[in-house]
Amino acid sequence: MALADFPASAVRAHHVTAARWRRRSRLIGVLRVALPAAIALIFAGMAATVVYRTVAGGQAGPSDIDAPIRLVNARFVGRDTDGRGFVITAATAVRDQDDYQRVLLDRPALVLDEGGERPTRVTAKAGVYHEGTRKLQLTGGVRLVGAEQSFDTASSLFNTATGELSGSGPIQGAGSLGEINAKSYGVYDKGERMIFKGGVHARIPTD
- 99/187 same-domain check: yes
Report the distance separating Cα 202 and Cα 207, nearest Å.
15
What pLDDT shows up at residue 7? 58
Q: 167-188 b/e with 16+ CB inside 10 Å = b?
A: beeebebeeeeeebbbebbebe
**Element housing 173 (H / E):** strand 164-175
- 81/48 same-domain check: no
**Element housing 16 (H / E):** helix 8-66
- 136/188 same-domain check: yes
- 160/119 same-domain check: yes
- 96/137 same-domain check: yes
* Average pLDDT for 8-16: 59
Q: Which of 27, 43, 66 represents a domain boundary (last residue)?
A: 66
- 88/122 same-domain check: yes
Give the structural domain span for 7.
Answer: 3-66
- 82/166 same-domain check: yes
12 with 3: CB under 8 angstroms? no
What pLDDT shows up at residue 190? 60
Q: What is the pLDDT of residues 143-160, one digit of tens each?
A: 988 777 788 888 899 888
β-pair partners for 182: 171
What pLDDT shows up at residue 43? 62
- 47/81 same-domain check: no
- Total of domains in the chain: 2
CATH of the domain at 193: 2.60.450.10
| pTM as predicted | 0.61
- 189/135 same-domain check: yes
- 17/109 same-domain check: no
Q: What is the pLDDT of residues 103-133, one digit of tens each?
A: 999 999 988 877 777 788 899 999 999 988 8
